[in-house]
Structure 1
Amino acid sequence: MSDAMPYDALRAEPATVDERLTAPEFLVGAAPEEVGALLHRASGSSALLAAAVYGASAHLHHDATP
């Protein structure tokens, strides 16, 4: 993904956290560590679901390529 936006996961505002966790381009293009840093900050129902699914499969993402 050469046009991928850089993400600053640790500085994301709560609304932005939920938006990122429900954005396929973020989940696929961001480093697993970036996504992992946001999982515990999910608050909306869709973001909580995405966080649960990503967290449950995080071991598969670490060595995967986008």
Structure 2
Amino acid sequence: MVASGDYALVVNPHVGYVSLLRRTEPAPEAEEVETLAPPVQPAKRDGSWFEPAAITTVKQTRGLTR
């Protein structure tokens, strides 16, 4: 392993492994984290059980459903 600043290079020639790792800052405290928007409600299904919900949502948004 070779380290320099915030980076470390790990090499294992026996198994052909090379990894470059970078030190990161710790995660922000709970009060610093932004709140996310509420989740989107699943799309109303049109009877196509095999169609992904995301596709159904796009179809409904674009007015492509009956």
TM-score tier (shorter) = under 0.3
Which one scores higher on RCO, CA 8 angstroms, separation ≥ 6?
1
TM-score between the two structures when normalised by the length of structure 2? 0.23
Structure having the higher strand fraction is 2
Q: Which has the larger radius of gyration?
A: 2
